[in-house]
């Protein structure tokens, strides 16, 4: 059986360049091996496999958070039986929250979401914060926990993120944020800024 591998994204040079950019902005150092339990997150369950290639701890005034460079693999099979592997390198930030928020997913709201919500009102709306609710789609398995955790400060931090198409996922006390775009120093800085703001505020 033929297997073809297509690798997209960035490799050692981008890892190194991004690390040096982060080093200019934050107190950052390599973590060594840590099991961040990314298999708990829906964002990674769609892939055939994934591997953390590099991880860094950012030391803040009050706590710490992390930047992860993750290689993900997707496999597809053609009609002839040939298997193609596509590997991508992605940037994610991870923070540990003091408050248990249950399972939460936050992303930018689409027109399809608005139509779906008319029939199946599953989204959490913050009536006191229309700007946030009109911009982001929020789902949770435990609404009281999620509402208690998604405070005004939290929502403001999300609104201020200087990235598009990002996904935020929370599994109890652990939050990740990222997207499928290739690794870049500027994106890593934007994600790190959000994670630092969260751990220092919470």
Distance CA 92, CA 135 (A): 21
- Work out the average pLDDT over 93-116: 85
- Percent of the chain past pLDDT 70, that is, above it, reads 88
Bridge partners (DSSP) of residue 170 are: 104, 175
- pLDDT recorded at residue 140: 93
Return the pLDDT at 11: 53
Tens of pLDDT, residue by residue over 137-178, are 999 999 999 999 999 999 999 999 988 789 999 999 999 999
Amino acid 188: pLDDT: 92
Residue with the bigger pLDDT between 10 and 122: it is 122
- pLDDT above 60 for 95: yes
Contact 63, 200 (CB under 8 A): yes
Structure tokens at 155: 């929502």
pTM of the model: 0.85
CA 146, distance to chain mean position in Å, is: 17
**Distance between CA atoms of 92 and 81, rounded to whole angstroms?**
33
At 13 the pLDDT is 61
| Percent of the chain residues topping a pLDDT of 90 | 57
Tell me, rounded to whole angstroms, the distance of Cα 51 from its chain centroid: 15
Q: Is the pLDDT of residue 38 over 60?
A: yes
In whole angstroms, give the CA distance from residue 78 to residue 90.
26
Q: Which band of pLDDT confidence, cut at 50, 70 and 90, is reported for residue 41? A: very high
Residues 76-95, mean pLDDT to the nearest whole number: 87
- Domain of 171? 3-201
Q: How far apart are CA 27 and CA 71, in angstroms?
A: 24
- Number of structural domains, the chain? 1
At 2 the pLDDT is 41
């Amino acid at each position: 059986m033929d297997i073809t591998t297509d690798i997209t994204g960035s490799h050692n040079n981008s890892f190194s360049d991004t690390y040096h950019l982060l080093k200019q902005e934050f107190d950052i150092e390599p973590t060594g091996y840590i099991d961040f339990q990314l298999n708990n997150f829906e964002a990674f369950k769609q892939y055939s496999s994934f591997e953390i290639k590099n991880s860094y701890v950012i030391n803040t005034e009050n706590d710490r958070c992390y930047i992860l460079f993750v290689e993900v693999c997707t496999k597809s099979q053609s009609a002839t039986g040939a298997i193609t592997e596509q590997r991508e390198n992605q940037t994610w930030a991870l923070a540990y929250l003091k408050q248990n928020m249950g399972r939460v997913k936050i992303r930018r709201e689409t027109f399809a979401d608005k139509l779906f919500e008319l029939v199946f009102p599953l989204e959490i709306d913050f009536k006191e914060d229309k700007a946030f609710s009109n911009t982001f789609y929020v789902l949770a398995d435990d609404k009281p926990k999620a509402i208690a955790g998604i405070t005004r400060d939290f929502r403001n931090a999300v609104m201020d993120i200087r990235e598009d198409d990002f996904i935020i996922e929370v599994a109890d006390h652990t939050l990740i944020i990222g997207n499928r775009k290739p690794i870049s120093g500027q994106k890593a800085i934007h994600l790190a800024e959000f994670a630092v703001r969260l751990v220092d505020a919470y």
